[in-house]
Structure 1
């Protein structure tokens, strides 16, 4: 199942610098591991914002939920999830002969 996920990060301004650095390092390792596994297909920065737009390809809603809750930055994020479906005008969609 494909999902578009927008994540906006809101780190507390008074967050301890060592905790911040450790959390960001853990987030990077976690995201890269999921990209290597093929579940986190795309990861784009939203220009001018501390936010990203990502595409996930996971088995079901529960798996996406587990991934998102596992993000080290999860407690500091606003997340919007959009399930995706193929568009019939996409030139990559295989057309079935009638």
Structure 2
């Protein structure tokens, strides 16, 4: 199942800089694990914002929920999830 996930990160001003750096590094490491596994298929930065648009390939909505809630920066995120399905005109067979 494919999902477009829009994530806006809002770390409060004055948040501990060392803890923020630790969380960002942990987030990057988790992203790279999920990307290597093929779960986090795409990520694009939103220009001018601390935000991204991503495509996840998961087995279920529950799996996506667990992944998102387990992200280190989750407590600071506003998330919008949109289910996707393959467009009949797509030339890419892996757009399932």
TM-score, structure 1 as length reference: 0.90
Structure 1 unpaired stretches of 5+: 94-98
Compare CA radii of gyration and give the structure with the larger one: 1
Structure 2 unpaired stretches of 5+: none
Per-residue deviation, 1:91: 3.7
RMSD: 1.0
For 1:48, the equivalent position in structure 2 comes to 48
Which 4+ runs in 1 deviate beyond 3 A? none
Per-residue deviation, 1:92: 3.7
C-alpha separation between the residues in 1 aligned to 2:86 and 2:5?
Answer: 16
C-alpha separation between the residues in 1 aligned to 2:49 and 2:16?
Answer: 22
> Secondary structure of the residue that 1:11 maps to in structure 2?
coil
TM-score, structure 2 as length reference: 0.92
